[in-house]
């Protein structure tokens, strides 16, 4: 009997049989634990969207027979497929492809999993002229090749997939972009089509509405419009320029970060932006990360613009001998780093070439690891909540138990690290997902993803246990026994890169920052030239009271002044006309709430201070 028949669940798109993700058409040959996997789950969406990518590829091959197919994975927000075509697809082409996808879905074509011999698979894809598939087969070591077939379309794939094209109910092709084969600029440029699919038209509409809202909140538009930051091609791609208002927000973020970290026992340091290449040989980055580093020649010697802050902190630790009584030592830095990102992956403030990390390293004994990790996670959640984020997803990334040889460190070290991270997470009470095989090569880690106001996930805090760096730099502490002991290291960030965090904040708040973060908290607006003197007086009093204020005494109509202040998303607009000047008052308008009426300056100042609730 097939798994789908056993389940009898119409919402299932796949199943788990004894923990293994499979097609619903797989036959059960023995007693097993069978669980449905629906679209509501992350795994279910991956199956559904991967199936939709195959449906799109089938539609493309029918409409454009000369197109060559490459790969088409599911991604966090849908799917894409890369095609080698003579001319890049246009918006009109996407409409035709989408229409054909609906036609194929209505036909309810069975999606069949097959295994072919290597020889048969090669012959089949050769006959179809699918050279990219032949290249992919070369990288598959197995003699049995897994493919999925739906009528006239066959694709290399391990699956699983939905049972038929009829399961794809609602589709939208979103955009087309260029992409190099294997992300290598030396290879041919392909046409990448992005799309999304849902089990109902209602769900698709909800998604498209969210997408429109996301476009409205796009930090790449709001940032320049609100005079926060800009990018300039003449200076180079991926390099952000912070304007006065953006710098104010950045300074407020850093001041809060500094206060919380000093209170948590961190010591703040600064390290150079450039260092000799030999330092990066010691750290191992030059061997494994050179393609993402900027290398410079200085007086016939090679230097590096630092891509991360770790080695600098190692050198500071090594300047003196540390006793076990000195530990834990928590060292934090707002460290600016530079990474040689490809131009094709740059994306506003979210992906840049120069950025500043809220980096920190904790040097501790093995017994202290759990408490330090607990402290990092607790501090991360506290700070993110202060910035208006309440929902989180947590991943515990551990090594692949079937391939332990690719990781540094002993079994004992990995056991200590993993158990310490697990216990720390359990103490926080945060639910988490265990991700086997997702650990970095030098130790297990915790990743915290925040959910913004649109429900989108953003990776910010990370906490990594490291067996590698301390050993490379010969870092140790003097134990109670008077002997040298290797120091244990915890790498961590809370906000990540401040450029990226700024982009997230702009989109989370749609540019309307809470009062404590707003670069301009109030703007005084004169109705006519006659009130300009009183408007300036009000502005001076607010400034003296610590309010970030601007005064607009231009001769424009008051409606235009209010409209501009609203567009700039300034929290408080204080309108002063003849009546307000005579009474020594202001007419208060609140962004997003409208007119609040006339109030004394003292009452208005009290209201601003009440809303200026700086965390902590």
Just list the catalytic residues: 310, 339, 357, 359, 361, 445, 491
From the list 360, 448, 467, the residue with the least C-alpha distance to 397 is 448
Q: Write out the H or E segment, with its range, that includes residue 337.
A: strand 329-338
Q: Write out the H or E segment, with its range, that includes residue 105.
A: helix 91-106
Angle between helices 244-263 and 498-508 (to 10 degrees): 110
Say if CB 144 and CB 164 are below 8 A apart.
no
Annotate 424-455 with b (16+ C-beta within 10 A) or e (fewer).
bbeebebebeeeeebbbebbbbbbbebebeee
Virtual torsion, Cα 335, 336, 342, 348, nearest 10 deg? 100
CA distances for 148 relative to 23, 50, 136, angstroms = 11, 12, 15
End-to-end CA gap in the chain? 60
The beta strands (E) that lie in 467-582 are given as 476-478, 484-486, 488-497, 522-526, 549-552, 572-576
**Cα angle 223, 224, 228; round to 5:** 60
Return contacts of 411-417, CB within 8 angstroms, 24+ apart.
413/443, 413/467, 414/443, 414/444, 414/467, 416/366, 416/369, 417/369, 417/443, 417/444, 417/465, 417/467
CB atoms within 10 A of CB 171: 23
Token output for 469: 């760096």
In whole angstroms, give the CA distance from residue 570 to residue 355: 27
| Phi, psi angles (nearest 5°) of residue 151 | 60, -115
Residue entry with tokens 């016939």: 300
Token output for 585: 């008052």
Helix %, strand %, coil % of the chain (to 5): 40, 30, 30
The residues, any chain, with a CB within 8 Å of residue 104's CB and separated by 6 or more, are: 55, 58, 59, 62, 165
Residue 212: exposure state from Cβ atoms within 10 A (0-12, 13-18, ≥19)? exposed
Radius of gyration in angstroms for the set of CA atoms belonging to the chain, rounded to a whole number: 29
CB atoms within 10 A of CB 153: 21
Half-sphere exposure (CA, 13 Å, Cβ side) for 137?
23
From the list 291, 289, 330, 295, the residue with the least C-alpha distance to 313 is 330
Alpha helix segments (H runs only) across 139-218: 201-216
């Amino acid at each position: 009997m097939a798994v789908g028949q056993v389940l009898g669940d119409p919402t299932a798109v796949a199943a788990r049989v004894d923990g293994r993700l499979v097609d619903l058409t797989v036959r059960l040959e023995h007693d097993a634990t069978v669980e449905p996997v629906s679209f509501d789950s992350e795994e279910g969406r991956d199956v559904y969207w991967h199936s939709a990518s195959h449906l799109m590829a089938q539609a493309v091959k029918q409409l454009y027979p000369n197109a060559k197919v490459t790969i088409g994975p599911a991604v966090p927000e849908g799917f894409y497929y890369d095609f080698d075509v003579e001319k890049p697809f246009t918006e009109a082409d996407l409409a035709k492809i989408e229409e054909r996808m609906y036609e194929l879905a209505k036909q309810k074509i069975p999606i069949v999993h097959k295994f072919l011999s290597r020889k048969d698979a090669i012959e089949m894809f050769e006959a179809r002229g699918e050279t990219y598939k032949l290249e992919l087969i070369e990288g598959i070591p197995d003699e049995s090749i897994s493919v999925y077939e739906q009528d006239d379309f066959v694709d290399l794939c391990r699956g699983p997939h939905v049972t038929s094209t009829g399961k794809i109910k609602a589709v939208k092709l979103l955009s087309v972009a260029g992409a190099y084969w294997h992300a290598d600029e030396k290879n041919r440029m392909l046409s990448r089509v992005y799309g999304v699919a849902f089990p109902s038209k209602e769900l698709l509409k909800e998604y498209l509405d969210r997408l429109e809202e996301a476009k409205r909140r796009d930090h790449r538009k709001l940032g320049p419009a609100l005079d926060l930051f800009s990018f300039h091609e003449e200076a180079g791609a991926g390099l952000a320029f912070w304007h006065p208002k953006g710098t104010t927000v950045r300074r407020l973020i850093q001041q809060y970060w500094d206060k919380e970290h000093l209170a948590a026992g961190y010591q703040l340091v600064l390290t150079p932006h450039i260092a000799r290449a030999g330092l990066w040989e010691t750290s191992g980055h030059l061997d494994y990360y050179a393609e993402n580093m900027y290398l410079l020649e200085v007086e016939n010697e090679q230097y590096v613009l630092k891509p991360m802050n770790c080695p600098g902190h190692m050198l500071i630790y090594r300047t003196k001998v540390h006793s076990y009584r000195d530990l834990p030592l928590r060292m934090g830095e707002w460290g600016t780093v530079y990474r040689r990102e490809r131009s094709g992956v740059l994306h506003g403030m979210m992906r840049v070439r120069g950025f500043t990390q809220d980096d920190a390293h904790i040097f501790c004994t093995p017994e202290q690891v759990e408490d330090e990790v607990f402290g990092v996670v607790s501090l991360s959640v506290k700070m993110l909540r202060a910035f208006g984020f309440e929902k989180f997803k947590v991943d515990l990334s551990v090594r692949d138990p079937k391939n332990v040889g690719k990781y540094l460190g002993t079994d004992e070290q990995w056991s200590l690290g993993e158990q310490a991270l697990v216990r720390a997470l359990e103490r926080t009470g945060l639910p988490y997902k265990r991700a086997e095989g997702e650990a970095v090569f030098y130790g297990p880690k915790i990743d915290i993803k925040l959910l913004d106001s649109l429900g989108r996930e953003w990776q910010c805090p990370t906490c990594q246990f490291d067996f590698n760096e301390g050993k490379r730099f010969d870092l140790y502490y003097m134990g109670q026994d008077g002997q040298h002991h290797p120091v244990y290291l915890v790498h961590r960030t809370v906000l990540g890169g401040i450029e990226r965090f700024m982009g997230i904040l702009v989109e989370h708040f749609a540019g309307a920052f809470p009062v404590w973060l707003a670069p301009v908290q109030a703007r005084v607006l004169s109705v006519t030239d006659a009130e300009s003197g009183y408007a300036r007086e009000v502005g001076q009093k607010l400034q003296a009271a610590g309010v970030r204020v601007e005064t607009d005494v231009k001769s424009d109509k008051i409606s235009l002044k209010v409209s501009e202040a609203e567009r700039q998303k300034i929290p408080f607009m204080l309108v002063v006309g003849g009546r307000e000047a005579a009474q020594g008052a202001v007419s208060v308008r609140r962004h997003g709430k409208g007119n609040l009426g006339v109030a004394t300056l003292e009452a208005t100042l009290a209201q601003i201070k009440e809303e200026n609730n700086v965390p902590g």
